[in-house]
Chain A
Amino acid sequence: MTNHPKRRGELMPSDGSYGWTIYEPDSDSLHNLNETARAIWELCDGVTSPHEMAHAISELTGIGLETALSDVKETLRRLEELNLVRTLD
């Protein structure tokens, strides 16, 4: 459950010749996020909820709130799988 997702502090984001990437030291992996995933990852401050993220995306892009929320949850699920965020309840 992703109530208040938070970026893991030990990650190393970088904007270089390979595009925007995050190095995850535990698995020694380099992840390349698209702009939307990156924006959501940056919102993972441990305070902002998925609902707040979805409302903001819906307002900015004009897509429906339910669609935005579904997209946000799916992105957060993937970010958690990749060990790039952790969840604070």
Chain B
Amino acid sequence: MADTSKKVTICTPSESFGKALRLLLDDYAVRLTRHPSRGATDSDLVVWEINGAVESQALSEVSSAVSTLILADKSQLIRSVDAGCRGFLPSSASLEEVRRAIDIILDGGAVIPPELLGTLLRHVVQRRRQDAAASDVLDGLTKRERQVFWLAAEGARKEEIGKRMFISPATARTHLQNVYRKLGVHSQSELMALAARIAEFSTEEDA
């Protein structure tokens, strides 16, 4: 039995798809929008239909704040999983399949197309090995670079990093560039995702 107090935000470029899905979800509080940034994070679940490319940072921002079900073609699958989305369905999924997936995720589960499970498990095993290696690489950072790394992982930009470390923004930028180079990351969102995984990995190692 669905919980009528649960809020579901449906983000889709297709108004007709959104309205049809809303009819199937009449036991939830449903909101339709074109982009999840508009008030979606106070929902219990975001159903996000992606047509074309979406920035990894946007995916991470949404999925870190709220459970997210992605509807997209399979090329988005790995990015969705890496961003922490709780479910993935191909764009061709029926309304009933989407409805079932919503119930599962709101019940605390995850939704992965069974035929893609092997591909995803291999990817996650590889990524976890890389994260473990990156965790070791942190040892290769200087003390200042490690400070910059963790401040950037909190979302701080070079100005704020400079302020908090009592150094100029230019110096903060130099440290940040060194961190990117040593860790092999190319953007702050990649650094943030890496930091989250290192933190998780470290917690597991300590357990």
Residues of A within 8 A of B (CB): 35-36, 38-40, 42-43, 48, 52-53, 55-57, 59-62, 65
Contacts and interface: CB of A to CB of B under 8 A. Distances in A.
Nearest to B113: A35
Q: How large is the interface on B (under 10, 10 to 19, 20 to 34, 35 or more residues)?
A: 10 to 19
Interface stretch (B92-100, B118-126, B140-148): B118-126
Interface string B152-191: 0000000000000000000000000000000000000000
A62 B112 CA distance: 11
B128 interface: yes
Interface of B: 81, 86, 108-110, 112, 114-115, 117-118, 120-122, 124-125, 128-129, 204
Contacts, number: 50
B206 to A, nearest CB: 14
Contacts of B81: 60
Chain A binding surface SS class: helix
Contacts of B128: 52, 55-56, 59
Contact of B125 (A35, A38, A43): A43
Contact of B117 (A36, A52, A55, A62): A36
A35 B48 CA distance: 26
